[in-house]
Each structure stands twice: as C-alpha cells, then as structure tokens.
C-alpha cells in the first residue's frame, strides 16, 4: 500500500506546485489522472473542486466536494469550501449549514466564521454577521477582510464610528486594500466628511468589486492643481446616468477656472445636456474627440474643487428642458384640474456591475405596493418608468393597478432624457426612488420627493429630509425596519395635502 501511495503523493505535490504557479490546466490533468486509478481520492477531488470554483463553475465544484466528503467526512475545509460555492449560487441557508458543520469539526476555524458572516449579511442579518466577524478576528487578529466586512455590516446598522474604526484597522493590516478605502470613502461622504470622502473616492478605480476601468489618455489627469487658462479639458462620464446628471453641474465651475470644456456623456444624455452652461462641446461616448490638454472624470471634480457640504455648486435649475418638446408635451397632456405627479418605483439595472444588484433590490418598491398606496388619491399620475421589467409590467397592467384611470403611461414615446425632461417640465411634482430620473427632475428644479432606503446612498447624507445637492428635493426615508409601507403612507399624506392646496383648499 505504501508503495502505491508514495507515487500519488508525489503526483499531488507536483500538481499543487503547478496550480500555485498558475498552470491550472496542467494541474487539472494530474488530478484527473489520479482519479482514474483512485476515484475516491479526497485530496484530488477537493483540488479539482478548487479549479472549478476559480472558473466560477460553482455547481461542478459542489459535485466534486460532495464526492470528497464521502471519502473524508471529517474534513472541516471541505464543508467550508462547499459553503462558499453554495453562497455564490445564493443558496445561503445551505451554505450556513455547511459552515456550521465545519465549525463543529474545527471550532477555531476563523475562515468559516468569516464566510458564515458573509452569508448572514446577505440574509440581511447584520447583527449575527458582526458576531461572526468578531469571532474571526479574535482567532486571526490580522484578518483584514473580516475587519472590512464587519465594518460594512456596522455601516448597514448606521454604526458609523465603529465602521470607520474597522475600515482603518483593515487598511493598517493591508495598506493597499482598495475595498476598505472605498468603504471608508462611502461612509465618510455619508457623514458629510467630503474632504476625506472624495480623497478616498479615487480608490474606486482599484476596487475589483466595482469593475471600473479608468479611461487612459495621453493627456494628464486634472485634479485642480494645474491652471486651466487657455487649456481645453475633457470632462467624461462614469458610472450611472444619474451620476452624470448630478456632477455635470461642475462644468460652469471648470469654465470659470479658465478651461474650455469638452463634455463627453452617454448618448441618451446628449440631447439633454447640449446647452449645458460651461460646456463648449457635448459629445456622445464613442464619438471622436477633438484635441485637449487635460481630462477629468466627472466624479473627481468635487475633489478637484475641494468641495465641502457648504460649497456644493447648486445653480438649480442647471439643466433646461427643450422648449419645443415641452410645448408638445403640454399640448398632449392638456389642461387638467388635478395635481400632476410623475412617478418612478424601480431603479435602473446595471448588468456589468453585479455588486450593485443587491442595492437594486433594496431601493426598488414592488409595483402592487406602490400603486396600492397612491392609486385612490385624486391626482393624475404619469409614469416616468423606463426599462424592463418595470416598464413592461405597468404597460400591460396599468388598469389593474390604477382602476380609477388616473394613471398615464407615455413611456413608449420617450426616446431619451430630453423627452423625459420635457414631460417633467409639465408636471407639478416627481415622486421617485433613488434613480436617474430623480436627479433629472431635481436638476430641472422640479419639486422632487425621493423615496430613500434605510442604507441610503452617500449623496443623501444622514438624518435630513432635504439635500444640499438639490434645493427642490425632499427625502422620505425608511426607518431601521426597512419597510416601504410607512414611507408610502407619509408620501400619500403629503400628496393629499398638496392636492387639496392645488384645488384651492377644497376637501
């Protein structure tokens, strides 16, 4: 038996060496060769499962680990690794059960506590997650990832001082830890510490979870140090459409600093921003660029101008709707005695940024809940909802959700944001979840009520119902119960009051 075992052990050592050096195909071939003669070899099965996991073949990884567990059921690492694969498949309860088994076999298993904490956080159990991260760092005091993730869970509970302390600890252990710098940026901005927040916001380019690739130009990046007089500067979009709308407000400030501004934005925004003050040219992404001397991503401009809460440029309205399109919508809508309210209950989906999918789930409001709260009000509602599945859902079932017939859906006639802006210009108010349409309405100076999740985006700050970014915004926030029903009740009461005032105070 020993004569047979020794060559296999040597094969394994060779394969592991190849695996560690990145020669995965060669390592896989050796693991598979071992299994051809020893089909239940636990180590070979486990190592093959790691390759499957690295290739994001999570189902295959689980199958291989199942076979390995049959051969070696007392191996805590197998259960922990299967839990990780199950978590990637969103089978969170099953993953937690596997972490429990791993910890039963190995009570000092720091990584199992850490991974169970991750699953618990995804199950929206931040308190339990924090406890597990605490066990992980107690067992492994240099566990930077556990400090970072505990900080994130603390942030979700609005325990910002403790969260920042954890991010700082993670950074002290791992000075190039982009994710921890980014998380500290988010919470600093949320607290209104723009000096720290926008400085650390530059770590977005290095955070692998964000999947952001900085644009490369021969021309240097401008962050406020160099004089711009007589220079041409390219300001270019990044992230979402709402971010572009929010931060294009800096174009006049760049122009006043002496720069000739070339603004490049996603094509749906070109018509809207073509007359933006401060921009000498407005181009769509992908269009050829003229010569320029410097460039700056739009969301680095607050850093360049050393923006603090009291110095946010707010020339509201800084975007204007096209006058011809506005008149066309006015004719189409016609004279109405009721208050006219635009509504958005569902945010946009970014397929290339899976890390924000969970945010989408938290900010979106189910259509039936949204309609049930508002449909009986004596108000005319206009859908500003673009993008599927939300747009299709209301198109097919508007009469079901608004049986009084006081809901109007012109979404199919909206080609770009200039059309949306012209429609919004004819409304009295916009009620929206945190999405690009809310930014558009607020930038137009239209009264805008934003329905804000408990773990709000940093730009809306903490514990206030107004916004220093937009004077026309009113925030309706979830409380720590994270339920939308109380928010919608307050909105309905506010709309009822506005509707009565609109009709001259008649009940």
- From the number of C-beta atoms within 10 Å of its C-beta (0-12, 13-18, 19+), residue 473 rates as buried
Q: How many CB atoms lie within 10 A of CB 373?
A: 19
Find the Cα–Cα–Cα–Cα dihedral 238, 239, 245, 250, rounded to 10°. -40
Average pLDDT per block of 10 residues along the chain, 507 residues long: 56 69 72 69 75 80 82 86 90 95 96 96 94 97 97 93 97 97 96 97 93 91 95 94 95 95 96 94 95 97 96 89 95 90 79 54 84 92 81 76 86 89 96 93 97 90 93 93 93 94 67
Residue 221 DSSP symbol:
B
Distance CA(180)–CA(152), nearest Å, equals 9
pLDDT at 17: 72
The DSSP H or E segment spanning 218 is none
pLDDT at 373: 93
pLDDT at 1: 35
**Hey, where are the domains in the chain?**
2-181, 232-311, 323-502
pLDDT at 179: 96
pLDDT at 474: 97
Report the CATH number of the 2-181 domain: 1.25.40.10
Q: Would you state the structure tokens that stand for residue 237, as one six-digit string?
A: 């979009």
Domain 323-502 in the same topology as domain 2-181: no
Query: Which of these CATH numbers, 3.30.70.120, 3.40.50.2000, 3.40.50.300, 3.30.70.260, describes 323-502?
Result: 3.40.50.2000
**This prediction's pTM:** 0.88
Of 284, 237, 231, the residue nearest 261 (C-alpha) = 231
| CA of residue 255 relative to chain centroid, distance | 31
């Amino acid at each position: 038996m020993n004569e047979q075992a020794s060559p296999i052990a040597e094969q394994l050592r060779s394969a592991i060496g190849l695996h560690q050096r990145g020669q995965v195909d060669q390592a896989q071939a050796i693991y598979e060769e071992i299994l051809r003669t020893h089909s239940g070899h636990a180590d070979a099965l486990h190592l093959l499962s790691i390759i499957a996991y690295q290739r994001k073949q999570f189902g295959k990884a689980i199958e291989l680990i199942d076979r390995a567990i049959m051969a070696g059921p007392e191996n805590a690492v197998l259960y922990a690794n299967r839990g990780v694969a199950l978590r990637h498949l969103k089978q969170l309860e099953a993953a937690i059960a596997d972490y429990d088994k791993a910890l039963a076999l190995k009570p000092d298993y720091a990584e199992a506590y850490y991974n169970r904490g991750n699953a618990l956080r995804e199950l929206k159990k931040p308190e339990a997650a924090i406890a597990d991260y605490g066990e992980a760092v107690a067992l492994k005091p240099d566990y930077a990832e556990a400090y970072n993730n505990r900080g994130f869970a603390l942030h979700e509970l609005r325990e910002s001082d403790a969260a920042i302390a954890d991010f700082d600890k993670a950074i002290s252990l791992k000075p190039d830890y982009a994710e921890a710098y980014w998380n500290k940026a988010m919470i600093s901005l949320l607290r209104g510490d723009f000096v720290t927040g926008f400085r650390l916001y530059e770590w977005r380019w290095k955070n692998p979870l964000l999947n952001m690739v900085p644009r490369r130009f021969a021309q240097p990046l401008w962050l406020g140090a160099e004089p711009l007089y007589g220079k041409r500067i390219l300001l270019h979009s990044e992230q979402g459409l709402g971010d572009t709308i929010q931060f294009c407000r800096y174009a006049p400030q760049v122009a006043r600093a002496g720069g000739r501004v070339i603004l490049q934005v996603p094509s749906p925004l070109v018509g809207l921003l073509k007359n933006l003050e401060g921009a000498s040219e407005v181009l769509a992404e992908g269009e050829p660029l003229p010569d320029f001397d410097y460039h700056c991503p739009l969301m680095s401009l607050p850093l360049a101008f050393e923006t603090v809460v009291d110095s946010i440029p707010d020339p509201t309205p800084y975007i204007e709707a096209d006058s011809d399109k506005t008149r066309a919508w006015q004719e189409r809508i016609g004279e109405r005695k009721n208050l006219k309210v635009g509504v958005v209950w569902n945010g946009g989906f970014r397929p290339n940024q899976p890390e924000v999918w969970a945010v989408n789930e938290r900010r979106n409001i189910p259509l039936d809940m949204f309609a049930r709260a508002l449909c009986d009000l004596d108000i005319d509602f206009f859908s500003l909802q673009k993008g599927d599945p939300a747009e299709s859902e209301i198109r097919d079932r508007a009469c079901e959700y608004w049986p009084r017939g006081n809901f109007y859906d012109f979404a199919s006639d909206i080609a770009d944001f200039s059309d949306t802006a012209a429609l919004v210009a004819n409304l009295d108010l916009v009620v929206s979840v945190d999405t690009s349409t809310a930014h558009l309405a607020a930038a137009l100076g239209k009264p805008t009520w934003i329905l804000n999740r408990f773990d709000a985006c940093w730009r809306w700050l903490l514990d206030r119902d107004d916004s220093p970014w937009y004077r026309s915004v009113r925030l309706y926030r979830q409380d720590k119960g994270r339920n939308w029903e109380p928010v919608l009740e307050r909105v309905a009461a506010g709309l009822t009051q506005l509707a009565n005032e609109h009709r001259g105070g008649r009940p």
